[in-house]
Amino acid sequence: MAKSSKKKNDKSIEESLWDSANKLRGTVESSEYKHVVLSLIFLKFASDKFQKRKKELIEDGKEDFIEMKEFYNMKNVFFLPEKARWSFIKNNAKQDDIALKIDTALNTVEKNNPSLKGALPDNYFSRLNMDVSKLAALIDTIHNIDTLKDEENDIVGRVYEYFLSKFALAEGKGKGEFYTPKSIVKLIAELIEPYKGVIYDPACGSGGMFVQSIKFIEAHNGDKKEVSIYGQEYTSTTYKLAKMNLAIRGISANLGDEPADTFAKDQHQDLKADYVMANPPFNQKSWRAANELKDDPRWDGYPVPPTSNANYAWILNMVSKLSQNGVAGFILANGALSGGGDEYEIRKKLIENRLVEAILVLPQNMFYTTNISVTIWILNNNKKKRTVELNEIKKEYRDRENEILFLDLREMGSPFEKKYIQLLEDDIEKVASTYHDWQLENNSYEDEPEFCYSASIGEVRDKDYSLVPSKYIEFVNRDEIIDFDEKMSSLQSEFSELLKKEEESKKELQNIFKDLGYEIKL
């Protein structure tokens, strides 16, 4: 018998759903319809879990309790009243008022499950005035997903991850801030190893940092019950995405009582975290009024971050949350690595306080919102020699208090979606291994040209507290000390000057012709 093989045109669940969701485009903006699709997937998943638990109760002879929410909540299953169940939505999919029925179902689920407070979209479906036939087709596609068929491979989680990525791609530059590319999040998790304790993200977007932390724990045979998750998100719709994304994975988290600005309304003021993971907005301007937050305790001991750029405000917010042995891994634009003014003074103090442990410059075109090269910072509140035991594995850390590790990842990664770069598993493993070899006793770390260099605090002082990796890493085939942000700024200035001269030449030529009695346009 001929060996069967999967046809090339066979589509994954994710691809089929994406094609179906795309049919909504035209009448609904991509920034809106992600909430439509993800809400329906959430409703299908919650309903499948509910039906499974209901069947268990019946089989155990507890039919009298099948409409009591306590018997579902005790198993971390959301209770769904009859008109909030998927079967009701599916049976009414072609009705003119299906949008209202979906809104009512989502509202009912949220009211019956306190842990979902603020998580589900409010009146999205009715407000968007969608084509009923297209919405019905999407419901049919989602109906065919057995969300519980392969729980080990996390079908619903996969779909969410795929959709969040695709929506970020679709929304493009200036939008899509709710999503950090998966390979970057995975690299941060592998570097700081959020194994047990408190995890915090001050700009949590759709919750990707938390999801990857749990995946790290599970991959290393840990217990996700040994971590507590705290976060905050400013945008209301993204706050809902995060709560849904975590809810479908059974991840408990405190994201604050409401969406709120982390600077203006810190909802975790007294928190001390063992791990901080973040991708805050790059180069955020006017993040505070000139006279606001000057005496905020988060800047205690440091200059007040400038109003013109929030990069160092985010850094100091995270530093203020670190526990005694806390570690932070976060992403910033490269401009934060150098520069003067109050940022220089803050950076100098962070370095002299022995907080900066590693700086990793990433390839360009990794983000969907910008094509600039960005940097991962690792801050560590305890770089001294110490012993740590995790899951019966003892780790002996060497004293790196007076050193900073620099890594250049710009030659790594592989193209995807034509114009973007992602880090491969081998890339992540190489970088994480290098970092941990540098950290740990009895490991053979060595500086490697064009890749890594361990610089002393003295060397960093000599470079006037610049954290640009190319000032330290040895380059064989490239200029050793290129400051890429400075170089780009210089090129932009040169280009502007050329354009200015061209305009002046055009005006001069027009005046010559005007003197001769001619009007010309150039």
What is the model's pLDDT at position 407? 97
Query: Got the DSSP string for 73-94?
Result: HTTT-----GGGSHHHHHHTTT
User: CA 32 to CA 244: how far, in whole Å?
Assistant: 15
Burial class (CB in 10 A: 0-12, 13-18, 19+), 54: buried
pLDDT (average), residues 249-265: 92
CB 348 within 8 A of CB 391: no
Q: What is the mean pLDDT of residues 368-377?
A: 80
Q: Is 333 exposed, middle or buried (0-12, 13-18, 19+ CB in 10 A)?
A: middle
Q: CATH code for 194-471? A: 3.40.50.150
Q: Closest Cα to residue 403, out of 456, 358, 448, 439?
A: 456
Confidence of residue 503 (pLDDT cuts 50, 70, 90): confident
Domain boundaries, the chain: 13-170, 194-471, 483-522
Average pLDDT of the chain? 85
pTM: 0.81
Provide the b/e sequence for 117-151 (b: ≥16 CB within 10 Å).
eebbbeebbbebebeeebbbbbbebbeebebeeee
Reported as a pLDDT band with limits 50, 70 and 90, residue 145 is confident
List, for residues 89-106, the tens digit of each pLDDT value. 999 999 999 999 999 999
CATH architecture label of 13-170: Up-down Bundle (1.20)
Predicted confidence band of residue 436 (pLDDT cuts 50, 70, 90): very high
Range of lowest pLDDT (152-161, 178-187, 509-518):
152-161
Query: Amino acid identity of 488?
Result: M
pLDDT above 90 covers a percentage of the chain that reads: 50
Distances (CA, A) of 230 to 176, 261, 264, 435: 22, 15, 17, 26
Bridge partners, 511 (sequence order): none
Which of 195-204, 400-409, 435-444 is the least confident region?
Answer: 435-444
Taking 90 as the threshold, does the pLDDT of residue 256 lie above it? yes
Residue 356: band (very low, low, confident or very high) from pLDDT cuts 50, 70, 90 = very high
pLDDT tens-digit series, residues 113-144: 888 888 888 888 888 888 888 889 889 988 98
